[in-house]
Amino acid sequence: MIETKTMSLAEIEDLAFRALVAAGTTEDNARPLAVATAATEADGVASHGLAYIPIYCEHVQCGKVDGTAVPAITQPRPSLVVADAATGFAHPAIDPGFESLMPMARAQGIAALAVRNSYNCGVLGYHTGRLAQAGLVGIGFTNAPASIAPSGGSRPVVGTNPFSIAAPGENGEPVIHIDQSASAIARSEVMKHAREEKPIPVGWALDADGNPTTDPAVGLKGSMAPSGGYKGVGVALLVEIMAAALSGATLGIHASPFSGTSGGPPKTGQFFIAIDPEASAGEGFAQRIADLAAAIRDQENAHLPGDGRRTKRADAEKNGVRVSTATLARIEAFTG
């Protein structure tokens, strides 16, 4: 049984911040990543939370990510912002990008942010959720190092490549919040099982020959299983076009892995679209979204995307989060 410890969200943020700074990240770059880490733990996505902090720290120290990078923000067109993360963390580039994107979307009805030369952006839905909290419909894409093979093939060409959309309600919180990868499961979940030496369910990953496997180590050397077969590959290609090709970032086939210390900065990308619903739908948008959500919630056992994380977040804010003591030990090794 895995030994755990209860921590408040403030304690999680503080621990993540201190570890990142101790590893060589500037305070300006560490803070948004630490805030996102606490939010991720609150949402119950432990695979992308504190478990990633030792990896982040290691990657700062080996040069896979520049913890001191200063992102460059430009506006090449009236409705487009470009953030060059300069091989640093994605979060410090997304934050100032959003500062320009949000008012631009309100003024023009729709606007976009392209992020290039960045690193793993963590949970993509965390970012689109912030756009929804600002009253905007947020759509996001992020590409990753290749781990999914094309239909009929066995050599990975695209990453797990998540996409997310967050639709705001009358209270400003996301009512419908979709956040999913193109693979059957996030690669980080397979990595988590490998660290814990636990088998993975059939359908999560494939071996090097394209056969199903329950061994996470074998799956990590093979490829991730796409969600919905060839349709998942199509989603991954869509995201690759948006997050890599359109943002000027590195394609997954050329990006170094997010795991391990070899290969240098991955230089992957993100692409966000922010839409002011009042510009296109008028005043009835919130009610339409509420009606759509109600049609799902009114059905017994039906699941509305976003409800699970919302419930966990409310509980975490009140009762804290159970965190693996083994993970804490790996993080504390960096804090000294």
φ/ψ (deg, to 5) at 83: -115, 120
Catalytic one among 189, 223, 247, 324? 189
| Sheet of strand 212-213: strand arrangement | 212-213, 205-206, 223-224
> What secondary structure does DSSP assign to 243-288, as a single string?
IIITTT---TTTSPPSSSS-SS---EEEEEEEE-HHHHHGGGHHHH
Q: Residue 81: which of 63, 65, 101, 61 has the closest Cα?
A: 101
Contacts of 9 (CB under 8 A, 6+ apart): 38, 39, 41, 42, 316, 317, 320, 321
SS3 173: coil
SS3 175: strand
**Annotated catalytic residue 47:** yes
**Annotated catalytic residue 280:** no
CA 243 to chain centre: 12
Catalytic one among 48, 59, 127, 193? 48
Q: Residue 5: which of 50, 56, 54, 53 has the closest Cα?
A: 50
Catalytic one among 41, 47, 177, 183? 47
212-213 vs 223-224, strand pairing mode: unpaired
DSSP state of 240: I
- Active-site residues, by number, are 47-48, 189
